[in-house]
Amino acid sequence: MPKIYIVDVTNRDGVQTSRLGLAKLEKTIINMLLNEMGIHQSEFGFPFTHHEKNYIEANLELAEMGVLQPIKLSGWCPMRAEEIKESFKSGKLKNVNLSISTSQLMTEGKFSGRIVRNPEENPAVPNLLDIMTENVQLAKSLGAEIVGVNAEDASRTDDEYLVRFALRAKEAGADRFRYCDTLGYDDPFTIYRRIRMIAEEVKMPIELHCHNDLGLGVACSVAGAKAAIDGGVDAYINTAINSMGERAGNADLVSVILAMKKASGLAGKYLLDEQVDLTKAWKIAKYASYAFGVPIPMNQVGVGANAFAHESGIHADGALKNRRNYELYDFEELGRGEPEIIDTGREITAGEYSGIKGFRNVYDQLEIEFHNDKEANDILELVRYANVHTQKPLVDDELRFIAKYPDMARKIMTMTPLR
């Protein structure tokens, strides 16, 4: 039976979003936490963008070292030869999604006649099908192992063209077809019909990339995944932690996992990648909230403050008698339930102006020891830079990462603007 995998796009869609951003160290920690959570793939950035280069390379090196394993790291790239060549220049990148708009509206609105959709429309002008084929073949020739072809605005693209485009992508050697509901226009019923049709006609794994403009991002993602499976192909759901993504956001990571594991029509009937470890949900949601500087709403699915809170008489009484009366799943399943210790007395934090004594104290608390003064001073210097880099107090996972992989931390934080 085909399976459902998760491709998290927080480090790509999340960071490109207006008013949202992450430092490269924070993006790295997100990759580490996604890996710990057993997530199949992280779309971890823009490999052709100059200020991402060191971060991209260092994360690929961490993968080679076995640290960022088994998660697959993949880049996002527009379908332009120049950017694709740039992305594969280091020889380290293995996986990529190549994106181009397929709807009549966007093709006309964005390319204004310079590119047409079909060769029949105007043979004198480049067409999408040939451009896509050339770019997929280029990426493959540069060493790409998994190439996903993204149909941007797929939900506003007519059926016939989508199938034609996906068939050509398969023919060109692409491994997956990404159906982008770029504007969140689909509903669970429309996306089910369309994905089922594409799955049956194209017979190729399908990625679901759903936005939340109508509040349907998670619903459409799981409906689309069900359609892919019913149509006989694997599904890859694109998610974002705490739904951080363009405008109203992407399908929330934790909600998608819960829907697949707990919804009446999905649980036990559709196979979610068994590597996914929901008990890491609480940790990853809290870290992303801190790193983005965006609080988790009180009523957030699974990880909100009220997700397991009861007050009204009948509910509180019922929940106390048997949690299943008013709780669909257990808080322990999400890694909740441990008390959080907040220091109310003296606290030493590590920052850009820290000195050696305070720094030693911070690492003593983490039970990390240094072999000699030179090592301690080297790590202290990196911690100072990391704080300049993130502009907020470093958390334990960041401090541990720096102490354990100082060379990687140095590389990730090094950015030199082009002249």
Under the rule (CB under 5 A), what is the footprint of Zn ion? 13
Alpha carbon 237 to its chain's center: 10
Question: In whole angstroms, how close is the CB of 304 to Zn ion at the nearest point?
Answer: 23
Helix (H, G, I), strand (E, B) or coil at 200: helix
Report the residue number, 13 or 153, with the smaller CB distance to Zn ion.
13
Helix (H, G, I), strand (E, B) or coil at 126: coil
Rounded CA Rg of the chain? 23
User: Residue 354, exposed/middle/buried by CB under 10 A (0-12, 13-18, 19+)?
Assistant: buried
CB atoms within 10 A of CB 310: 17
Question: In whole angstroms, how close is the CB of 210 to Zn ion at the nearest point?
Answer: 9
Three-point CA angle 142, 4, 137, nearest 5°: 20
Helix H or strand E segment including 236: strand 235-239
Question: In whole angstroms, how close is the CB of 18 to Zn ion at the nearest point?
Answer: 13
Question: In whole angstroms, how close is the CB of 217 to Zn ion at the nearest point?
Answer: 10
Report the residue number, 18 or 264, with the smaller CB distance to Zn ion.
18
Report the residue number, 13 or 57, with the smaller CB distance to Zn ion.
13
Report the residue number, 246 or 398, with the smaller CB distance to Zn ion.
246
Q: How many Å apart are CA 255 and CA 218, to the nearest integer?
A: 7
Residue number of the CB atom closest to Zn ion:
13
Question: In whole angstroms, how close is the CB of 182 to Zn ion at the nearest point?
Answer: 6
Question: CA nearest 56: which of 74, 37, 77?
Answer: 74
Question: In whole angstroms, how close is the CB of 143 to Zn ion at the nearest point?
Answer: 26
297 within 8 A of 304, measured Cβ to Cβ: yes
- The runs of H, that is alpha helices, within 235-312 are 253-262, 281-292
Report the residue number, 13 or 234, with the smaller CB distance to Zn ion.
13
Report the residue number, 8 or 13, with the smaller CB distance to Zn ion.
13
